[in-house]
Homo-oligomer: A and B are copies of this chain.
Amino acid sequence: MEIISGGVCAAQGFTANGIHCGIRKNKDKRDLALIYSQVPASAAAVYTTNLVKGAPLYVTRKHLTNGKAQAVICNSGNANTCNADGIEVAEQMSDLAAKALGIASEDVIVASTGVIGQPLDIAPIAGGMEALAAGLGAHSQLAAEGIMTTDTKRKELAVSFTVGGKTCKIGGIAKGSGMIHPNMATMLVFITTDCAISPAMLQKALSTDIQSTFNMVSVDGDTSTNDMVVVMANGMAGNDEITGEGADFDAFMQALNTLTVYLCRCIAADGEGATKMLECKLTGAKTEAIAKTVAKSVICSSLTKAAMFGSDANWGRVLCAIGYSGADVDVTKVEVSFSSCKGEILVCKDGAGVAFSEEKAKEILLEKEIDILIDLHDGEGSATAWGCDLTYDYVKINGDYRT
């Protein structure tokens, strides 16, 4: 397996584009993205569990009932959520993309991200569609920019791997910065691969993978209304189609996981206002479920996040978050260390504080990527969760997001 360039266009037969069509006022910000597969592809998706769902999710779910898709159309700047005409507008977006590409509207995946509850004007999308489609090419970067909201960085990666002697590629783009606390599904992530895999196995791979990847990321505890992860697999790599478990499926899962873990880290690091990426590595839990619950509780604690912003080794807040997680934990066995590229420091053992150098702790915590290492000493379950610090800028960004 190898990291390669090309993002969402790395796999054979996929092209993409991103433009400013006028949904956003700022002309320097792209607001419409298109991803296209030369041939129809197997497609799988997972969606937010929020009861309030963006209109595009309903349309996409309907279009994916046959497990096939050929394109993704996505706008930023407006979530098309809680609007009376939402479904209608999402269907129009799909129709417009289908017409421009000469494919069936049922083969288009529709997504939107941005402010909730403001009607989405179809006019700029209709006006920009022709140019968007005409400009399709190896433009993963432009598409990645087109789906960004408060993101400060593009998020893309691609990986090559081997299935049945054939070289396959898988790549993806993601957006996600605030309103990030996935539950079953998450943010907007579009993944493309030329690996041949049946819709059922593609869905299985995706649904399994997100449990330990996107569902373990939290920026602010708010589960968005619009998030989805979509994978399209067009089979152009020429491998024998993966239709069941086995070595080929494992190779695909591994490549998918490499990509998704990377995108998780990107999303956590680019959390709204974040100055640090936090990774909570939990070991020694009675079960994996307990490990996940505890790791996520720590990564979601506002007090822990604020302490990390201040590079303060306030491990008591980590213990506190372990204690209120609701999971079955023997708090008298808990061990906590902080680490970064500057080293590792033990701060709590057997649930109580140990003497440590505040100076060394500060040096470690001043870094941009911090690991919170927790060993529950109570079993073999482990999990990793990703998050970020809580900063002035998170408040600033969200205090006047609409204006």
Contacts and interface: CB of A to CB of B under 8 A. Distances in A.
Given A51-B324, A322-B52, A353-B82, A117 B348 contact: yes
A338 to B, nearest CB: 13
A323 B225 contact: yes
Contacts of A26: none
B316 A82 contact: yes
Contacts of A390: 395, 398
A116 B316 contact: yes
A310 interface: yes
A200 interface: no
A50 interface: yes
B316 A81 contact: yes
A348 B82 contact: yes
How many copies of this chain are found per oligomer?
Answer: 2
- A84, A225, A391, A399: most-surrounded residue (chain B CB, <10 A): A399
A312 B401 contact: yes
A301 to B, nearest CB: 6
Interface in A285-332: 300-303, 306-307, 309-310, 312, 314-317, 319-324, 329, 331
Contact of A84 (B179, B301, B322, B352): B352
A400 B50 contact: no
Contacts of A331: 51-52
A324 B395 contact: no
A93 interface: no
Interface in A219-253: 220-225
A320 B221 contact: no
A293 to B, nearest CB: 12
A332 to B, nearest CB: 10
Given A312-B403, A399-B310, A220 B302 contact: yes
B395 A222 contact: no
Interface in A256-307: 300-303, 306-307
A320 B225 contact: yes
Contact of A319 (B52, B178, B320, B392): B52
A115 interface: yes
A314 B401 contact: yes
Contacts of A116: 314, 316-317, 319-320
Interface residues of A, number: 63
Nearest to A352: B84
Contacts of A315: 117
A373 interface: no
Contacts of A316: 79, 81-82, 115-117, 225
A40 interface: no
Contacts of A181: 324
Interface in A88-135: 115-119
A67 to B, nearest CB: 27
CB-based closest 8 A-B pairs: A116-B316, A52-B323, A310-B399, A306-B398, A223-B324, A117-B316, A117-B353, A50-B323
20 contacts: A49-B324, A50-B323, A52-B323, A79-B316, A82-B319, A83-B353, A115-B316, A116-B314, A117-B352, A179-B317, A220-B303, A221-B301, A222-B302, A223-B324, A302-B302, A306-B395, A307-B399, A309-B395, A310-B401, A312-B402
Given A179-B320, A302-B394, A390-B398, 11 more contacts: A50-B320, A50-B323, A51-B322, A116-B320, A117-B348, A119-B353, A221-B300, A302-B398, A310-B401, A312-B401, A392-B396
